[in-house]
Amino acid sequence: MPGLAREPGVVAARRVGRRRPGPDVAGPHARVARRAGARGRVRRAEDAGRRGPRRAGAASGARLRAGRAPHAGGGSNDLRAPAIGLLSPLAALRARTRRGPAARDPAGLRAGGRRDGGAARAGRGAPARRERPGLESGAPARHHRARDGPRAHFDAAGPLGDGTRLNRIAWTARERWLVVLLVALGFALRAWTVVQYERAHPQAAAPVIDERSYDRWAREIAAGEWVGREVFFQEPLYPYWLACVYRASDGSRSAARHAQAALGALTVLLVYLLGRRLAGVRAGAVAGLLLALYPPHWHLAALLLKENLYLPCSAALVWLGTSRSPRAATWLGIGLLAGVGALLRGNMLLLLPLVVLWPLALARGERKRSLGRAALVAAGAVLVLLPVAARNWHVGRVFALTTSGAGTNFYGGNNPYNRYGVATEFPWIRGIPEFEAGDWKNEAERRAGRALTPTEVSSHWLGEAWASMRADPKLHARILWNKLRLTLGPYEVPDNHCLAWDARYVPLLAAPLPGFALLGWLGLCGALLCAWRARARDADAEPAFEVSTALALGLFALAYLGTVVLTVTSDRIRLGLVPLLAPFAGFAGVALVAFARRPWPWLACAAVAASFAWTHSMPKTEREDDLLERDYNQASYWVADPAQRAAARALAESLDAARPNSSRVLILLAELDWHAGREQLDAPGARSDPQRSAAALAVYQAAFDRLKLVLDRSTVSARERFRAQRLTGLIQLDLRKYEAAERRFREALAFDPADADLRVWLGQSLLFQAEQAGAAGGAAKAREALECFSAVPWKDDALDALRERARRLATP
């Protein structure tokens, strides 16, 4: 504004015209000192300023740096006036990492060594103010009260222009209570979800899919199996953490879930700190509250999944990465957390180069020091990953930093069978972790025509994905676009669990809260708004934000989003993006305060964000199928429990009504019929009673007819054909049709040669044929049966008895 002084700590009257005018001294704390009239109060005010008061003169400082320094009493801009150099966001990061007085105070804004942003001491003996180049003194000025952070966000004489840093804002008692309430709220909601889940959910006592795999693996580790026997196919750190919890709690899943609720509350705290560092206390409070009230995060605490560890790890990594005064221990800690994250999510392994190169981006003129910092980050990651790589080499003689599943994961989200790139079962894969690695290996070896090592299997599927991309780039461009929209959209894409399905058993998850439609929308809006304002050098806009923190958060979020789009997307995987978007959501929420004065930037960013966060890219029929898929999974789990088979049949019949003649549902109904017929036939006296025997045979025949319908279909998948062959062989084995059973078991073994159960059943069918033929004609089948029994890794009395019977017939 013409004729207005521009000094550190002074805000133009145009910005705060409604505030009371103050005397011509810089800084809000000078007014407090004048009221007190005592030198001690003045000194405390200066100390508070050094801890980080809200800056006042950022708007004028930004205009000066852009070459718009006003003349004293004049109204025109003099582009030849001295001005502080315009810094890019990346240069801002470099500026905050430099050492030495000249780097920390390039404009000479400190007086007498004080870090008070140029604020003059009021009262007796006040030293003269240092004048900025191009500024005139003597004009009246206005200033504002200090609140929760500085107003401006561009770098000048320090990371924020006057030495003030957002993360150095003094903590007040009110803010401490706010943090306590946020963390307590976050823990209470997650613990309450755990209680409801354990009380009513059918899978709480019997975990499934990945949960079952982690639970079994953790119990093996807790029992002493620390090294294992095979190259890791899943990221290993979470089962080891779970094993430690089991050792401390006597194998209690409830203790593990409540520990995960505490980790969720820790993530809320870290998100608050990131939001506070980005744009002040209010932004941190909004960010923490949004995450505390985020239902998918409540849901995660009840599930035995690795994301419970990954989320606080990634949030802590970004917190350290945006540190204002990083030490050697800080850089080493960043590397350690990056390595830990890579042992929890394969995505982090792709982000390791970005994390290692981050120090090099901060200080162009300090190449030696930045190289040392990058070396510390790399050393921290190596310290974590090297033991795992050595262990994989020890057990499998292959080099794998973490797991051997990178290629399969990449193919899973980039193939013509998966239009949306979501977690799904392929025709040759059983969706059970203990079989998954073997199924990928068997199919790769079938296509390659030779035996493959785990790393060769991964390379094979990576090559298959690239070949498909080269063959049809337009199709894969649509797949990538679909994954991007799903990842940023409102739908919680199910993986192991479906949030909407689990809400049937956990009432808290059905709470009318918007979820990602709100947090994701505000997060995208805040990120776009930060980019807009940084690009436009819009220092007049409020609220302020710290460019370096916004840049670090934005780059990490964008890189993580890229890894999701390149691989597979789901609700669990997207959760890794939520703590990175929440601080931006806090900033966007606080920016609503200034909406009436400058609505267009906010509206433009909000509209772009809403086009992703509020629109469904997956058709409604696909979303309905996700719920039916969870009904099918639950029915298949209940089949193994005699007490739940009635409920399983009710679910299976409802599925048959919704999707008539589905191969999967027909096999499920046939399995229920088989169990019912077997129970009838095994009842005392049933085989000798013609009526009861005929009733049991009728049930068997119904099961056999369903399976025949599936096996006669030429389009049935290899996985469903395998299940039908396996069950058909069991029915024929019960009906003592041993030759037909042998044929079906051999067909099923072509899909999974390592299936131990199939080996036992094939051995039984061969042994019973040998016993019918007698010692003269059955020796060959008895020897083959003995080979089948010997290939089974476990031991029990019944299997030992079968081995002995086969051995007697096989020996002349």
Backbone phi and psi for residue 73, each to the nearest 5 degrees, phi listed first: 80, 0
% the chain with pLDDT above 70: 77
**Band (647; pLDDT cuts 50, 70, 90):** very high
Return the structure tokens found at 122. Answer: 């009021």
pLDDT at 575: 94
pLDDT at 91: 52
Residue 753, SS3?
coil
Q: Are residues 188 and 165 in the same domain?
A: no
% the chain with pLDDT above 90: 41
Which of 368-382, 533-547, 730-744 has the least mean pLDDT? 533-547
Q: Are residues 506 and 640 in the same domain?
A: no
Return the structure tokens found at 62. Answer: 């930004």
Q: Are residues 468 and 569 in the same domain?
A: yes
Give the CA-trace dihedral at 32, 36, 39, 45, to 10 degrees.
-20
Give the model confidence (pLDDT) of 90-125 as tens digits. 555 455 444 444 444 444 433 344 434 444 434 444
pLDDT at 71 over 70: no
**Can you tell me the distance from the alpha carbon of 318 to that of 270, in angstroms, rounded to the nearest whole number?**
9
Return the structure tokens found at 210. Answer: 């990945």
List own/partner pairs for 639-642 with CB under 8 A and 24 or more apart.
Answer: 639/668, 639/671, 639/672, 639/675, 642/675, 642/679
pLDDT at 137: 37
Which of 113, 135, 170 marks a domain boundary? 170
The owner of tokens 């590397």 is 335
Q: Are residues 376 and 520 in the same domain?
A: yes
**Can you tell me the distance from the alpha carbon of 404 to that of 234, in angstroms, rounded to the nearest whole number?**
8
Give the model confidence (pLDDT) of 752-773 as tens digits. 888 888 999 999 999 898 888 8
Give the model confidence (pLDDT) of 186-234 as tens digits. 999 999 999 999 999 999 998 988 899 899 999 999 988 888 788 787 8
Q: Are residues 541 and 629 in the same domain?
A: no
pTM: 0.77
Q: Are residues 162 and 180 in the same domain?
A: no
Q: Are residues 469 and 580 in the same domain?
A: yes
Give the model confidence (pLDDT) of 304-318 as tens digits. 999 999 999 999 999
Q: Are residues 512 and 572 in the same domain?
A: yes
Return the structure tokens found at 811. Answer: 């020996």
Return the structure tokens found at 75. Answer: 């109204």
**Can you tell me the distance from the alpha carbon of 593 to that of 530, in angstroms, rounded to the nearest whole number?**
15
List own/partner pairs for 113-116 with CB under 8 A and 24 or more apart.
Answer: 114/46, 114/50, 115/50, 115/163, 116/27, 116/46, 116/49, 116/50, 116/163
Residue-number span of the structural domain to which 646 is assigned: 620-810
Helices (H), 363-429: 367-396, 406-413
Residue 793, domain CATH: 1.25.40.10
HEC per residue, 507-574: HHHHCCCCCHHHHHHHHHHHHHHHHHHHHHCCCCCCCCCCHHHHHHHHHHHHHHHHHHHHCCECHHHH
Give the model confidence (pLDDT) of 503-526 as tens digits. 999 999 999 998 999 999 999 999
Q: Are residues 181 and 162 in the same domain?
A: no
Which of 578, 613, 648 marks a domain boundary? 613
- Please state the rounded mean pLDDT for residues 338-343: 93
Q: Are residues 10 and 159 in the same domain?
A: yes
Which of 138, 170, 202 marks a domain boundary? 170
Q: Are residues 562 and 626 in the same domain?
A: no
pLDDT at 483 over 80: yes
Residue 61, SS3?
helix
Q: Are residues 151 and 181 in the same domain?
A: no
Return the structure tokens found at 26. Answer: 């810089």
Helices (H), 114-223: 173-200, 209-222
Count of domains observed in the chain: 3
